[in-house]
Structures are given as structure tokens and as C-alpha cells.
Amino acid sequence: MRTTVCHIITKLELGGAQKTTLFTVQQLDRTRFTPILITGEPGLLDEQARALEDVEFHQVPCLVRAIRLWKDVQALLALTRLLKKLKPVIVHTHSSKAGILGRWAAWLARVPIIIHTVHGFGITSEQPWWLRRLLIGAEWLTGLITTHWLAVSLADIDSGIRWGLFRGGNITLIRPGIDIASFHRLFPSSDRDRLREELGVEPGHLLVGTVSCLKPQKAPHDFVDVAAHVCACMPAARFVLVGDGELRAGVEAHIRSSKLEGRVTIVGWRRDIPALMRAFDVFLLTSHWEGLPQVLLEARASGLPVVATKTGGASETVNDGYNGWLCAVGDVKGLAARVLGILLDVDERTRFSRNAGDIPSEFLNLTALRKREALYDTLLERSGRGVWDGTHGGHALGFDGRTE
């Protein structure tokens, strides 16, 4: 019998949590698991999710990222009805809103095993104290009905322990994992030159790039401010921001007011990220909070020197001073100084690039997937609801969840 595993995520945009979720439901061992994917408000990757083979896809549009009390109640009821119909054995939630509402819906639907992955807590020092207390309280209360937690970084585990979220060691570190082969692939220099020309980069220019959603978490305004400092000292520097989002209009206005047109470019979302990475000379990430930024691993796999803010699991992906530099959150001048130093020092740029590509196996997507599957097996065995014995149909019956 195959165990039905239902993944729930708030929005399928181009982000680390979304890529991990899609990879998991696509690659789960079909001899052991039947995957279902539920998402909320429309996202860029919805059509890709619908096209996945052997993955049942459902959308609950009232599940939205922002806190909207009436919509949140609607989403909870809709998710509960859907889960009662689907009867999964395991519900595995991702992202803050889907994590709270999805777990309570699973509990109301009497799902036997409830798992949540922390891809970075949506609780930051920039929020009012009362909101932080409210969100921590919501996570703590929801933790009481959570069978097991996963975290993508040690930093998130430390935060969860500090807030008292975990019980009896029900937390496991499993990295998100990247498709390293696509970033290790060699690109002809002619393709690199063509991409740089497309991005408005001329011979003799040095290109600093980032890939991120234009939302407060990623602090794109800091990216523009760093560009302003660097370009004032180095006219040959160019910056490109690959991504889109709610802050785009404001960031474009910021670029104009800083007189950086032609030096800082927003190209929107692109699917050729591995190729674009090869067109960069330095990768810059200005996030104010993170779980474990997969994009830093992708930059490293592309052989790029990295400059990033020291937030979440960034220090678990970048070895400060070895393959990049880490600066305090919001330290625009510090970030600019590190970027400028790499651009001006060919030896440092070459050394960081040489040290960048050695990615530990724990950060590979297949390694992470096998760990998730092993965790599912362990939780099934502990619950008495099924044990995988290494053969087809190895799960025992004796529980209410859906099997095939």
C-alpha cells in the first residue's frame, strides 16, 4: 500500500520553499507514497504544479499570505473540508500561513501525522513587539498538535528552542537541497557574452546580480542603496535584480531617484537562472530575514563570490572570508564595501570563486529528499500506522488515512 502525503503551501512563487515543495512531490518514491499538493493564492508556479505527473493538485484561493481574519477563517474551513475528502495519512505544511492553518485543518480532519517545515520563521525584529508575541504564541499553540517539525537551518532550530516550540525532540534538521548539476553545467563564453549584452553589460563592466522576490523580506531597497555606493566609486559596476513582486514599483522609483538608470536593472522573473548566474561576477543578497537561502548555494555552485547579510542560515551556507563575505542586516555601507573590494581585487574574486563550488552533500536535493522519505517511514512506524519493509506495498493497514 502507498501512503498518501499531502503538502500544503501558501503560494507557489519562485522561492526556495516552493522549489523544495515541488521537487518533493514530484520525486517522492511512488512505490511508497502518493503525493498531493495544495496551494493558496495564485502564484507563478501554479501551471508547473498542475502539469506534474501523478501529483493531485488543489488550489484554495482564500489561503493568502497576509493576515486577513475572514479569509483565514474561510481558508481553515476550506482546507478542513478538502482534507476530510482526501483522507491523507500525512499532512506536511510549508510557509507561515499554510503552516498554521494547514496544521489546524489537518487536526480537525483527524489526519494521523502532521509535519511542518520551517523555511525561516516569519517573525522578525522589524515587527511590533505585540505582533511578534502573537505570532510566537500561534506557533507555540500549533506546535501542540504537530507530530514533527523540520527546519532547514540550525538558526531556525535555535529560535524554536528559545521560544519553546518543540516537544520531546520532535525537530529534525533537513536542508532544502539544490539541483547542483544544473549550476555546475559549463556554459560557452559566447552564451555568457550574449546574456551580459542582453542585460546591458558592456565589455569592461563588472556585474553584480541577485535573484529574489521583490518583497520586504529580501530588502530590495537595500540592494539599490548598495548599488548607489558602489557605482559612485566604480563607474564600471552594473547591478541586475532578477525577480518581481509587490515592491517593484517602489524599487523602480528608487532607482530613478538615485539616478541609477542604466546601471541598475530589474529583469523580472526568469527561468534560466543557472545561465544568468554564469553571467554575474558577484552575487549579492540583502535579505533582512531568511530560513536557509538556497540561492546562496546556487550562487556558490555557479562559482560566484557571495556578499550577503548574516541572517537565518546564511552563515551555514557561506564561509565568511573563504568563499564570500557576510555583513550585518541593513549594513548598506558594509555590504557596499565588501562588494567593491571583490570587484577591485581580482585575486580575491578568483580565490572566492575557486572556493565557492564545493557544496556538501547535505545540501543536495536528492539527499534531502531521501531524508524526508526516511522521516515519513519513521513516523509511520512510531504511530503504528505503517512500516516500510523495503518491498512494494510494505505499509501495513490499520489506520483511517488514504492508501492505494
Query: Could you give the C-alpha distances from 331 to 229, 241, 272, 290, 335, in angstroms and in order?
Result: 12, 19, 30, 16, 6
Question: Which residue type, as a one-letter code, is found at position 85?
Answer: K
Q: Under a CB-based contact definition with an 8 Å cutoff, are residues 382 and 372 in contact?
A: no
pLDDT at position 186, please? 77
Q: Options 3.40.50.2000, 3.90.45.10, 3.40.50.300, 3.30.420.40; which CATH number does 180-356 get?
A: 3.40.50.2000
State which residues of the chain have pLDDT below 50.
387-400, 402-403
Residue 192, phi then psi, degrees to nearest 5: -65, -45
Contacts of 242 (CB under 8 A, 6+ apart): 209, 210, 211, 212, 267, 268, 269, 270, 273, 276
Please determine whether the domains at 3-177+364-383 and 180-356 fall in the same fold group of CATH.
Answer: yes
pLDDT digits (tens, 9 = 90+) for 188-244: 888 899 999 999 999 999 999 999 999 999 999 999 999 999 999 999 999 999 999
pLDDT at position 156, please? 97
Separation between Cα atoms, residue 39 and residue 98, nearest integer Å = 8
Question: Which residue type, as a one-letter code, is found at position 350?
Answer: T
Q: Under a CB-based contact definition with an 8 Å cutoff, are residues 380 and 401 in contact?
A: no
pLDDT digits (tens, 9 = 90+) for 59-107: 999 999 999 999 999 999 999 999 999 999 999 999 999 999 999 999 9
Strand 324-327, strand 306-309: pairing: parallel
The number of beta carbons lying within 10 Å of the beta carbon of residue 274 is 17
pLDDT at position 381, please? 95
Q: Kindly list the domain boundaries of the chain, sorted by start residue.
A: 3-177+364-383, 180-356
pLDDT at position 403, please? 47
pLDDT at position 394, please? 31
Contacts of 24 (CB under 8 A, 6+ apart): 7, 35, 369, 372
Contacts of 317 (CB under 8 A, 6+ apart): 292, 293, 296, 297, 300, 363
pLDDT at position 401, please? 52
Separation between Cα atoms, residue 120 and residue 141, nearest integer Å = 18
pLDDT at position 172, please? 98
Q: What distance lies between CA 88 and its chain's CA centroid?
A: 25
- Give, in words, the CATH class of 3-177+364-383: alpha beta
